[in-house]
Structure 1
Amino acid sequence: MSIRKQKRITSRAIGLAALVLSLAVGATASAEDAKTQYFPLATFRVGAYASSGIPVWAGEIDYFRYINEVEGGINGIKLVWDECETNWEVEKGIECYERVKAGKNGSPVPIFLPHGDPISKALTEKSVADKIPLVTIAYGRTEAIDGRVFPYSFPVVFSFWSEASSAVNFIAEKVGGKDKLKGLKIATVYHDSPYGKETQVPLAHLAKTYGFEDIQIPVPHPGNEQSAQWAKIRQLKPDWVFLRGWGVMTPVAIKTAAKVGFPVDHIIGGIWSGSEEDVRPAGAVGKGYLAITPFPAGANFEIHQKLKKHILDKGLSDLKDPKSFGSVYYNSGVDEAIVAVEAIRTAQAHFGVRPINGEEAQWGLEHLDLSEKRLAEIGATGLQQPLKLSAKDHEGGGAGKVLQWDGEKWNVVSNGWVKSDRELLLPLIYERAAAYARERGITPRDATN
């Protein structure tokens, strides 16, 4: 090879190396110079569950706008977001995740909000590989409470197991104590999907512990025909029905229950069967229906007065139907946004005030402490339960409030937050997480709390 040719090759190599270095430095500088924090939103504004989803994002986006407009962002870092339509379908949810995971305009993705139980489960291993936390408030894989095995999955606030346990504990309050549960029949009418089946294990364990009969009755998706299921209810005569529906399934269940003569005030809807959108279509027969939720309805919380003044009254709200302001689903969006924002704030306190990446947000989530004092500062006292997460506990709350529909609005009828039997259920949850780890060859992280 000639000396001249060697020089050309060397020159090209140096030039290529300089280009690669320039791109790398440029990417780093872009991330450092970014003044915004990107939050991609996986939404479903169309499809069978759109009526549920639309108010959720109204609450979430309104809170993000409030943080930007009133507080100037999270310590000066403004929030930006865009939406990706999933239609609540797993394939589309995965496509959305893959599309957004690299971040936007130099801002990394700190947290991904799947907004769908099947989507969240499909993304469990991807999120670990990409180091992007999945925050699934009141849904998601229950064993992911054990962050030693699931470092990037956060079924925060109220898992499905806690939902089932709190519902049973509310029934115990109504009948005079847990000892009075013995001999009762509790039927669960559930959406026949992994989501709907999620409470079968804890209910079987609680039934064995407290002596009630556990009856399980599936309803095929989407649940617009339930005559056979409620005929079985009429035949079996349970004392209480725990309704774990979604979308159209809930009002159909309420109306069909009325037809067979089952008292609606002995039906307790689960988290996703307890919104205004669930009971209004049922009409007059829905009066008296109960539901358990970590997102109590109402627009009288302090944060709602702030949102009304600074966002709604200024025409900045994402809300299309004013009746949904303060609804269960709207409030769930507000709660979700509070958790996300406070996790970023916690991470900033440790890593510095700048856009936070997924690995840093994971640290922020595992050190999140939403105390009564902090909730009061936010204006969310009574709307959000106190919450403290750790590497060993990615749920942190485990309580809900029971609401009753009076024909026009929800009223809280439980004595404050109804706690679940977490001490009873956590050993089972940790066993399931350990089995998952063995099956997939995962070495759990060390964590003392």
Structure 2
Amino acid sequence: MRKTLQRTLAAGLLALAAHGAVPSFASAADNQQFIPLATYRVGAYASSGIPWWAGEIDYFRYINEVEGGVNGVKLVWQECETEWNTDRIVECYERFKGGLDGAPTAFFFTHSTPASYALMEKGAADHIPLIDGAGGRTESTDGSVFPYAFPLLLNYYGQASVGINYIAQREGGFDKLKGKKIVTVYHDSAYGRETQAPMKLLAEKYGFENIQIPVADPGNEQSAQWRQVRQVKPDWVFLRTWGVSTPVGIKTAARFGIPVDRLIGDVWAGSEADVIPAGAAAKGYQALAPFPGGDGFEIHKRLRQSILDAGKSDLKDPSYFGKVYYNIGLINAAIAVEALRTGQKHFGNRPLNGEETRWAFEHLDIDAARLKAIGFEGLLPPLKLSCADHEGGGAARVQQWDGQKWVLVTDWLQADRATLRPLIEVKSAAYAKEKGISPRDCAAEH
């Protein structure tokens, strides 16, 4: 009976593989690591999701086919189409948290701040790490209270800080920020509101005027907001939008006479999908880039040779290769694979469960030498996590749209983590009190 069931499951998975849902070798086996993918290839956010998931899948396929898996452990994955709908992402999590066909689930990519909020308690109860690079709930940076949530690379507070640091660089020093008017036009959601607290703190520290203007989802009409911006006469504007609200924001800003080179998009308002629909109005637009665009990095050479040129890429349109969202997928996949390697060094070269993968992420240390070895030098900054620090990096570059492509205009800019950390700890302590959580003693664990 068991063999019959395994053959049936294998046949079903192989049929899905023909459509790119799982790798062709997926079957009942003891040496496979399962990765659920809550994708959004259709709907309002498909222009972001299609290249994002292609980047992740291409890297996982590269690891399997070129490197033979992670120390011999093959990666298998299954997609759930969610249209970036929080309820559907939660359904995907519930469906796959127990693994697939005997392969355990190591972690869950939420890739959605609302979903990270919705799954916070479930992930902790199930001991499944929730991974949301440059997103998620900012206070989950504090792993003593949030053991199973990882807002990797650059949390929202860090994004606010890097943006202010860049403005200070452009203005000639932090002392030049005093009296400046800095407007944040933000998506009126948990994601968009995440930077309000750090911007208030940074405004108090540097003396600039902090003006916040919301845009309701989906943001197809923004005349009222940009009329308000024009009345303010800002020195700089942060665009913290998402999806269609970004190109609409760029075009409307231009219509109201706001200089495009005074607009700075955050991480989720800085892709080709954000600027190409805005046309000529986007030329000169800048954005934070913990995930830089470009296909000239070493990993792209390796992928082109082994995956794209071999006809094995998940990309249906090769022109997306090296675009920002494709690279976001690559970077997230690479960090996950390096975490699995870290866990295997401790637990053995075998599939890991969620608890073991939590330990692995908290001991992850991707230094400059390792970045070079895996082909991500310049594409990803060094990343070191711990029990107390689930962000790790806290840096981004700034890129500018020249009308055809993104051009990097800075090296890595570091967030002011020392200033931001007390604010994070206040919020994490409040969460712990609300939920009756006793924080871990991270010093004792190390």
Q: Does TM, scored on the shorter chain, surpass 0.5?
A: yes
The equivalent residue for 1:262 is: 258
Equivalent pairs counted in the alignment come to 418
The equivalent residue for 1:15 is: none
CA displacement at 1:133 relative to structure 2: 0.1
The equivalent residue for 1:17 is: none
Q: Which of these residues, 383, 391, 395, is aligned with residue 395 of structure 1?
A: 391
> Could you report, residue by residue, the CA deviation over 1:130-153 in whole angstroms, capped at 9, with x for unpaired residues?
100001101000000000000000
Q: Give the 5 Å matches for 1:271-286.
A: 271-286=267-282
* 1:73 equivalent in alignment to 2:62: no
Mapped to 2, the partners of 1:333 and 1:32 lie a distance apart of 27
Specify the code of the residue in structure 1 equivalent to 2:345: A
Q: Which of these residues, 94, 105, 108, is aligned with residue 104 of structure 2?
A: 108
> Could you report, residue by residue, the CA deviation over 1:8-65 in whole angstroms, capped at 9, with x for unpaired residues?
xxxxxxxxxxxxxxxxxxxxxxx99611111010011111111111110011000000
The equivalent residue for 2:5 is: none
Mapped to 2, the partners of 1:87 and 1:283 lie a distance apart of 26
Contact 1:240/1:267 (8 A) holds in 2: yes
Counterparts in 2 of 1:237 and 1:367: CA distance versus 1, 3 Å: same
Counterparts in 2 of 1:33 and 1:355: CA distance versus 1, 3 Å: same
The equivalent residue for 1:16 is: none
* 1:170 equivalent in alignment to 2:166: yes
Mapped to 2, the partners of 1:121 and 1:87 lie a distance apart of 17
The equivalent residue for 1:426 is: 421
The equivalent residue for 1:13 is: none
Contact 2:367/2:382 (8 A) holds in 1: yes
Contact 2:307/2:313 (8 A) holds in 1: yes
The equivalent residue for 1:297 is: 293
Contact 1:187/1:215 (8 A) holds in 2: yes
Q: Which of these residues, 418, 423, 437, is aligned with residue 442 of structure 1?
A: 437
The equivalent residue for 1:97 is: 93
Contact 2:28/2:101 (8 A) holds in 1: no
The equivalent residue for 1:361 is: 357
Cα RMSD after superposing both structures: 1.1
The equivalent residue for 2:145 is: 149
Contact 1:291/1:403 (8 A) holds in 2: yes
Q: Which of these residues, 59, 66, 76, is aligned with residue 63 of structure 1?
A: 59
The equivalent residue for 2:127 is: 131
Mapped to 1, the partners of 2:401 and 2:86 lie a distance apart of 33
Contact 1:32/1:354 (8 A) holds in 2: no
Q: Give the 5 Å matches for 1:143-222.
A: 143-222=139-218
* 1:235 equivalent in alignment to 2:231: yes
CA displacement at 1:106 relative to structure 2: 1.1
Counterparts in 2 of 1:355 and 1:32: CA distance versus 1, 3 Å: farther
Q: Any stretches of 5+ residues in structure 2 without a counterpart?
A: 1-26
Contact 1:34/1:105 (8 A) holds in 2: no
Specify the code of the residue in structure 1 equivalent to 2:169: E
Q: Please state whether the residue corresponding to 1:139 is helix, strand or coil.
A: coil
Specify the code of the residue in structure 1 equivalent to 2:358: Q
Mapped to 2, the partners of 1:79 and 1:115 lie a distance apart of 19
Q: Which of these residues, 30, 34, 48, is aligned with residue 34 of structure 1?
A: 30
* 1:310 equivalent in alignment to 2:306: yes
> Could you report, residue by residue, the CA deviation over 1:148-175 in whole angstroms, capped at 9, with x for unpaired residues?
0000000010101101100000000000
Mapped to 2, the partners of 1:297 and 1:316 lie a distance apart of 22
CA displacement at 1:358 relative to structure 2: 0.3
The equivalent residue for 1:350 is: 346
Contact 2:29/2:103 (8 A) holds in 1: no
Q: Please state whether the residue corresponding to 2:246 is helix, strand or coil.
A: helix
The equivalent residue for 2:220 is: 224
The equivalent residue for 2:14 is: none
Q: Which of these residues, 112, 118, 124, is aligned with residue 114 of structure 2?
A: 118
Mapped to 1, the partners of 2:29 and 2:301 lie a distance apart of 35
Specify the code of the residue in structure 1 equivalent to 2:155: S
Specify the code of the residue in structure 2 equivalent to 1:246: W
Mapped to 2, the partners of 1:213 and 1:34 lie a distance apart of 58
**Which segments of structure 1 move beyond 4 Å, counting only runs of 4 or more?**
none
Contact 1:275/1:328 (8 A) holds in 2: yes
Mapped to 2, the partners of 1:174 and 1:321 lie a distance apart of 37
The equivalent residue for 2:48 is: 52
CA displacement at 1:103 relative to structure 2: 0.4
> Could you report, residue by residue, the CA deviation over 1:82-131 in whole angstroms, capped at 9, with x for unpaired residues?
10011111111111100001101211100100121101110000001110
Mapped to 2, the partners of 1:42 and 1:32 lie a distance apart of 22
Specify the code of the residue in structure 2 equivalent to 1:124: M
Mapped to 1, the partners of 2:187 and 2:425 lie a distance apart of 25
Q: Please state whether the residue corresponding to 1:439 is helix, strand or coil.
A: helix
The equivalent residue for 1:287 is: 283
Specify the code of the residue in structure 1 equivalent to 2:423: L
Mapped to 2, the partners of 1:376 and 1:385 lie a distance apart of 11
Mapped to 2, the partners of 1:270 and 1:341 lie a distance apart of 26
Identity score, percent: 61
The equivalent residue for 2:412 is: 417
Q: Please state whether the residue corresponding to 2:108 is helix, strand or coil.
A: coil
Mapped to 2, the partners of 1:338 and 1:175 lie a distance apart of 36
Q: Please state whether the residue corresponding to 1:123 is helix, strand or coil.
A: helix
Structure showing greater Rg? 1
CA displacement at 1:374 relative to structure 2: 0.5
Q: Please state whether the residue corresponding to 2:109 is helix, strand or coil.
A: coil
Mapped to 2, the partners of 1:283 and 1:400 lie a distance apart of 25
